[in-house]
Amino acid sequence: MTPTIHLVDGSLYVCRAWFGQGPDVFDAAGEPAHAVHGFVRFLLELIERARPSHLAVAFDLSLGGSFRHALYPAYKANRPPAPPDLQRQFAACTALAHALGATVLADAGFEADDLIGSALAVARAAGHRGVIVSADKDFGQLIGADDEQWDPPRNQRWDAAGIRQRLGVHPHQVADYLALTGDPVDNIPGVAGVGAKTAAILLAHYGCLDAILARTDEVAFLRLRGAAAIAARLREQAAAARLSRALTGIATDAPVPDSIDAYGRRGIDANMHDLLDRYAFGALTRARVQALAERC
């Protein structure tokens, strides 16, 4: 079997835990720890189910300072800053992911997506396939013939064919697709009036964004509702489309360890007991951690 690296979008699952329930558990200092508990339960379940030989967890540190903000200062400007409590629990989750034997990836200039994309490039060069653990559609652009995307809490898996079924485009077209449709979550403009179906039709016909923009005069003659208006928008908003493409593409040259050995899952760290005490974990979690420690 092809060796596999599991690459976890840590920020997604921390935020899910933080927003998904109220602060119903507290650490030894009396501070909320619900995101910490939710994230650790998630990561323990992943390790127990997948038993990964190579495991990395990526976190976002680039709050307003990534290369995308340099290209487009309004990038993610619609999002409020993370509250101090969430930032504190992020730091705790980072420490616990490391203590559970994962390689932690974080960089002030790159987002978690870029760190995962870059680690996957290292793994592929070493003959590994990737399983990207996330529900984020952006990762579709990274899925190769042998790769998968997996969202364990929702028990959903999909491969390259699944990307095609979900979005209507092939993995190598996902960044172009997002550049056309835009992404209101990240404040990426895209091309106004071009929705998901139109973007998929254009990419099926022309193959890539560059070809669409080079042949906009032809778009008016496609069998597509409002084709003339779409052609006009593409001409008028070509610069916005190209900017959006620079924002939607996942980097594969971020600073990550360049040897596959660096991603091998380690045993449980010696300081794990102190972390379990600090964040007031109960007997069940402690037993699961102990079982992992004995298995490693």
Tens-place pLDDT, residues 97-154:
999 999 999 998 999 999 999 999 999 999 999 999 999 999 999 999 999 999 999 9
Low-confidence ranges of the chain (pLDDT < 50): none
Provide the pLDDT for residue 104.
98
For residue 245, give both structure tokens: 């493409």
32 CB-side CA count, 13 A: 18
Residues 115 and 59: their CA atoms lie apart, in Å, by 9
pTM, whole model, 2 decimals? 0.96
Which DSSP state fits 288? H
Provide the pLDDT for residue 61.
83
pLDDT in tens, 23-40: 899 999 999 999 999 999
Residue 114 CB coordination number (10 Å): 26
Provide the pLDDT for residue 80.
85
What is residue 67's three-state secondary structure? Answer: helix
Q: Which of 240, 235, 200 is closest to 219 using CA atoms?
A: 235
Residues 254 and 256: their CA atoms lie apart, in Å, by 6
For residue 91, give both structure tokens: 């730091």
| Residue 155 near residue 288, CB atoms below 8 Å | no
